Amino acid sequence: ARGTKFIDRLRQGDHGGGWTTLITGLHRLTTRVGDAVRQGDPVGVTGARRSNITVELRRNGRPVDIIPLVGLA
């Protein structure tokens, strides 16, 4: 859109076996392509204002409903 400034950052993590995580809405990234990231490591920072972070789990490139995986279904 004209006049719109996009500051979102996207981070995709590859967990192996066809599993990936897609994270959007980060203001600043704290990792680089090829960095090893362990559970609990930060991958980015949100902005000072309202943040809308989206985390999507994917299997072979397709979104996965995480509700059954975390025992909420």
Q: What's the pLDDT band for 4 if we cut at 50, 70, 90?
A: very low
SS3 labels along 6-71: CCCEEEEEEEECCEEEEEEEECEECCCCCCCCCCCCCCEECCCCCCCCEEEEEECCEECCCCHHHC
The mean pLDDT value for 25-48 works out to 86
7 pLDDT above the threshold of 80: no
Q: How far apart are CA 28 and CA 67, in angstroms?
A: 28
Residue 16's Cβ-count burial label (10 Å; 0-12, 13-18, 19+) is exposed
Would the pTM count as exceeding 0.75?
no
